[in-house]
Amino acid sequence: MIKIADKNKLFYPFDKRPKDGELLKVSQSIYWLRMPLPIALNHINLWLIEGDHGFTIIDSGMSTDEAKNIWRNIFNGFISPKKIEKILITHMHLDHSGLAGWLSSELDIDPHFTQKEYNETQKIIGGMSDEQINSTLDYYRKCGYDKKSEDQFRERIGLRKSLSSNQVEEIILIKDGDALNLSDGEWRVIIVEGHSPEHACLYNEENNVFICGDALLPRITPNVSVNPISPDSNPLESWIESLEKIKSVIPNDALILPSHGYPYVGAHHRIDSIIENHFRKLESVLETITEPKNVTDLFPLLFKSEINEHTRVLAVGETMSHLNFLVSKGEINKTIDKNGLYSFSKN
Ligand SMILES: [Zn+2]
């Protein structure tokens, strides 16, 4: 058992990380593969779990030539493709799922997926219909998109598709509470909502290891966005409830293997600080709405850096998730103002 000297601090058991495309052993049966990404968040951690008969791969990386070459190197050197038993994709975001279809057909393995995350990946690969694009843009206009932002949004649809490989034909469905026999033993599926619709985390009780995907990142808080197809939803509440659920299941001394950043110990402290951070933001949003505000009026309050075409979707989603939370609690009202924009005012 790892002791934490100060219960309010995270403890990082590894002082070095693998180089891009290389593996580092983090426990008797788990390898850490650092996969480079062609975006501002420049890497994702993938996990390879070894058992007596083979390996399970957790998450895939984005569909780039670089990532495919890294996988080919691994299959040519470290593990023969024949030794890979299972693939599990935690959630739909392209750094996690982009190569799921490619890996699945290269290895002839149906990946484990939750239903909602699988459905979302299929939507990305299939592209959006004109009707879906129009209703999505209708939402973003109410959130303050101008013509230029709309054009940039249309370009992003194509970009998302290009970072995803071929369709996953069949999956092995996983659900909350499932006990999965991955290569080295039993892993319990814990579903987290809010960051994406049905994000799978995995807990191995025997070894006290938690593969958290994007749920409990050590230094950054994952984006919690309102989905344009359900503009009145309250994902922030689902997210906070999910974090509390993790806290009730995972002990504070579990080794957390996150998708970005270094493995650490101190899950409860991290959960408390993520939740506190959201409540601080909610308070400051509420204090600012002394007169009606549009979505973009709140950007300077919520984000340190200038919002640009790359961060706009995330900024709108995150701002709306805090606003919808306050609307659901009856603290503020949401209406459409004379310019056709969402307007929020105190009740
Ligand atoms: Zn994610």
Residues 38-53: tens digit of each pLDDT:
888 899 999 999 998 8
- C-alpha 307 to ligand 1 mean position (Å): 20
What's the gap in Å between 213 CA and the centre of ligand 1? 7
Ligand 1 centroid – CA 259 distance (Å): 9
Which overall architecture, per CATH, does domain 23-156+168-278 show? 4-Layer Sandwich (3.60)
The residues spanned by each domain of the chain are 23-156+168-278
Q: Could you tell me the CA-to-CA distances from 53 to 49, 74, 88, 106 in Å, in that order?
A: 11, 17, 17, 19
What is the pTM assigned to this prediction?
0.93
Instruction: Compute the distance from residue 318 Cα to the ligand 1 centre, in Å.
Output: 13
Residue 273 Cα to ligand 1 midpoint, Å, equals 19
What would the 3-class secondary structure string for 240-299 be? HHHHHHHHHHCCCCCEEEECCCCCEECHHHHHHHHHHHHHHHHHHHHHHCCCCECHHHHH
Q: How far is the CA of 346 from the centre of ligand 1 (A)?
A: 32
**CA 95 to ligand 1 centroid distance, Å:** 8
Share the mean pLDDT of the chain. 94
Q: Which residue has the tokens 């983090």?
A: 26
Tell me the C-alpha distance between 138 and 140, whole Å. Answer: 6
Q: Quick check: 63 and 165 in contact, CB under 8 A?
A: yes
pLDDT tens-digit readout, 129-184: 889 899 999 999 999 999 999 999 888 887 777 777 888 989 999 999 999 999 89
CA 57 to ligand 1 center in whole angstroms: 17
| Listed residue (39, 52, 51, 44) closest to 70, CA to CA | 44
The mean pLDDT values, 10 residues at a time, for the chain of 347 residues are 56 95 95 93 96 95 96 95 97 96 96 96 86 93 94 84 83 98 95 97 97 96 94 97 98 98 97 96 96 97 90 95 98 97 94
Listed residue (73, 65, 18) closest to 46, CA to CA: 18
Q: What's the first-to-final CA gap in the chain, in angstroms?
A: 51
